[in-house]
Amino acid sequence: MAEQAKKKPAKMANRNLGAEAVKDDGEKYAVVNGDGRPVYPGAGVALGEAVRLGTQLLAAAGIARLESDGTLTPGRLDEAGAFAPAAA
């Protein structure tokens, strides 16, 4: 019986693509829609996860920092990949 060739493992998509561009500062963030309401339930996620969810869940989603009193501070990512609060 002829010996079969070893199968190579399938190449999987790298979910961390571009993740090094987003800096995790230890704060919690929420995914918000255009009027500032959260669209993803929960007590907040890390910044990189909020960016990933925002791009997958809603075309016009943004991010907001979840403050200790439960309020949301809307913002965006700056060129360095850090959270920057939106100007009022």
Residue of 33, 41, 21 lying closest to 62 (CA atoms): 33
Structurally, the chain folds into a number of domains equal to 1
Say if 36 falls within a structural domain. yes
Enclosing domain of residue 33 = 27-77
Say if 53 falls within a structural domain. yes
**CB 83: neighbour CB atoms within 10 A?**
21
C-alpha distances (whole Å) from 72 to each of 18, 36, 55, 65, 88 are 25, 8, 19, 6, 13
Say if 6 falls within a structural domain. no
Say if 14 falls within a structural domain. no
Say if 2 falls within a structural domain. no
Say if 16 falls within a structural domain. no
Say if 4 falls within a structural domain. no
Q: What is the pLDDT of residues 11-59, one digit of tens each?
A: 655 555 444 556 667 788 888 877 777 777 678 888 888 877 777 765 6
Determine the pLDDT at residue 37: 79
Strand partners of residue 64: 30, 74
